[in-house]
Amino acid sequence: MAPVSAPSEHDSDDDVEFEDVPPPGVTQTSGPSSTRPAASHVESWSPSLSLPPQRDHPIPSGSQEETQLRGRLSSGIETITYRQMKSHLGMDAPNTPASQRRYESFQEFADDVEHLVDILWASATATIQVEGFITLAGIVQMSIRSFIFEPHPMLNILHKFDEIFAGLCTATHPLTGLPLPALPSNRPLVTETQKVRIRSLAETTRSEVFSYLSNPDERTAPDVDLDDFDSGDLETPWMLEATRIYDKTLMLLGDQGETDAL
């Protein structure tokens, strides 16, 4: 599991792992619907974005609430990576609890990722949020080829990360345009080093999706009728949507120089 860093006063990337603490009673927000329209209706599709309400102020550093949040995230990320690994290997014992079974679809995987994304977003605590979002977005990027192509949940979760990263980098709420809860001393929510890492992740993810869509043997799913699609440069209508992956983030960060090491 990737560590979570708490940025210091001098833009440090010192790693601080999520602590292994039993999760508190955090109410789960609703994930995206498991009902997916057919891929051939791409022309009428547009990404959706939902975000839970945020705290008015970041969680105090060193507080019990911060410890509980780190524990919740640590446990959730471990569960997601474990179930994703089992999906890749195709393993499950008959008596495995439902919460520990391999993912049967990208939709199931995306629902669990989105649940943690929403917990992070609601915390309004950039010292935990940013590294947590980078970790989760990285898990999604590495899991793209582990599942049969499901365009709606895949593009929706990537769209959500795009809006969140762009919002954090500009300190504005993606839905309302209002300022996000600020850190003490007016420090930026995202460090320069983190911006470079986010940009690299965005570029890698877009490239990965293009590569995935270019291989029909990998992306064919029961509800995706590829016979209806042209075989030109854009092999499926979803290739056009792939050009928009992390669009806001890359437009915002694309011109920044490589001034910091990853």
pLDDT digits (tens, 9 = 90+) for 33-87: 333 333 344 455 688 899 999 999 999 999 999 999 999 999 999 999 989 888 7
Percent of the chain scoring above 90 in pLDDT? 50
Q: How many CA atoms lie within 13 A of 186 on its CB side?
A: 0
Whether the model clears a pTM of 0.85, i.e. scores above it, the answer is: no
Residue 19: C-alpha distances to residues 28, 204, 243 (Å) = 20, 29, 38
The single-letter DSSP state of residue 142 is H
Sign of the Cα torsion 133, 150, 248, 207 reads positive
